[in-house]
Amino acid sequence: MSVQLQPYEENYKNSIRHFYLPEDQLYFTAMPTESVDLAEGDPTRHPVTILADGKPVGMFVLQDGPRVQEYTHHKNALLLIAYMIDRSEQGKGYATHSLRKLPNYIREYFPEISHVVLAVNMKNHSAQRVYQKCGFVDKGERKLGKKGWQMILEQSFEKNV
């Protein structure tokens, strides 16, 4: 299996439009079309497509700018938001593979960055496990979000500059 991370391109639009998440998962994240629409009007949002053998199977957004400081004190950090894998592609290891490729992706496209931070709902145990398995660390920070308490996880790595 070949998993790649690529900046979102317009030619992925038709594929991501057909992504599906059941209600219990949709509660915790946004659908990719919504993420892309928000990114078009916000230069701090950078959508990333998860490809498996060249086919879009998931998506997330890396965000820079002032919002990041709501989650971490690190100045060279990005916020990972709206992470999702299409329901029909779940259970195939794409989440693990894509998250393990994230530091190299960030080094390539954001060479000044050395930290990535995310907020995961305290009730979303499966996502917590995947993030922690892939190197994200819980340092005990919590934040009250729109849908309840969130665990703040972060990952540090060497910068590419």
- DSSP strand pairing (115-121 vs 3-7): unpaired
Give the model confidence (pLDDT) of 46-88 as tens digits. Answer: 999 999 999 999 999 999 999 999 999 999 999 999 999 999 9
Strands 45-52, 55-63: pairing kind: antiparallel
Say which CATH class 3-113 falls into.
Answer: alpha beta
Cβ(48)–Cβ(59) below 8 Å: yes
The rounded mean pLDDT for the chain is 93
Distance of CA 21 to the CA centre of its chain: 16
pLDDT digits (tens, 9 = 90+) for 3-39: 999 999 999 988 988 888 878 887 788 778 888 889 9
Q: How far is CA 19 from CA 48, 64, 156, in A?
A: 15, 26, 30
Q: Where are the domains of the chain?
A: 3-113
pLDDT digits (tens, 9 = 90+) for 86-123: 999 999 999 999 999 999 999 999 999 999 999 999 99
CA distance 156 to 123: 24
